Amino acid sequence: QVQLQESGPGLLKPSETLSLTCTVSGYSLTSGYYWVWIRQPPGKGLEWIGAIFHSGNTYYHPSLKSRVTISVDTSKNQFSLKLTSVTAADTAIYYCVRDHVLDYWGQGTLVTVSS
Amino acid sequence: EIVLTQSPGTLSLSPGERATLSCRASQSVTSNYLGWYQQKPGQAPSLLIYGASSRATGIPDRFSGSGSGTDFTLTISRLEPEDFAVYYCHQYADSPSTFGPGTKVDIK
């Protein structure tokens, strides 16, 4: 059973860096698939942030590209998201998800940006 | 960027009725790389349909997807009480991957 679990701080101040980690169990990242970050502002729709292939190739949403880094740690079977210079507009539930078809989702973690 | 439009915004139906949800793309979705997801309050979305018409593992056959190119449909043949939720379409043919704004199916 593939499971994904997000972890990281839930409250940030404006201009800080958001750092989240997704721990994957039941599947080895090195076996393939893309690994994806998606976010959802409270009460709103879904936004694709970016993806990383197990080899390290990355793809980012153009609107976030200057602030986003997605990386993978195969030794820990984890992948991570960093988003710099956050503002209130970055307040959202952040999900880590497997593959382009988005077949397995983490439960999501709420990140609030507030002074 | 492919823009997805979903209609209607809200669909009010009774259990047992048929639901037809539409997703239209601003340009052709290559290889029908189009998925449908269900989201219930307080939960992560879950995959229903991928490749426009293939049901994900464990999804009941009352859910079906159809369409190609720029026009796609999710049909729920007979609504069960647990089907009242928000449904999103998503294209993964082109980067950036994009989502529709969602259709809420609520109880009439």
DSSP class per residue in B19-47: EEEEEEESS--GGG-EEEEEE-TTS--EE
Does residue B31 register a pLDDT over 90? yes
Give the residue with greater pLDDT, A83 vs A99.
Answer: A83
* DSSP string covering chain A: --EEEEES-SEE-TT--EEEEEEEESS-GGG--EEEEEEE-TTS--EEEEEEETTS-EEE-TTTTTTEEEEEETTTTEEEEEE-S--GGG-EEEEEEETTTT-EE---EEEEE--
Q: What chain A residue is nearest to B45 in terms of C-alpha separation?
A: A105
Q: How far is CA B83 from CA A8, A43, B16, B18, B92, in A?
A: 32, 19, 10, 11, 24
Chain B residue numbers touching A100 (CB-CB < 8 A): 33, 92, 97
Q: In angstroms, what separates the C-alpha of A71 from chain B's closest C-alpha? A: 18
The residues with which A4 forms a beta bridge, in sequence order, are A24
pLDDT for A84 equals: 98
Contact B44 A95 (CB under 8 A): yes
pLDDT for A56 equals: 85
Contact A48 B99 (CB under 8 A): yes
User: What is the mean predicted confidence (pLDDT) over B18-46?
Assistant: 97
Contact B90 A46 (CB under 8 A): yes
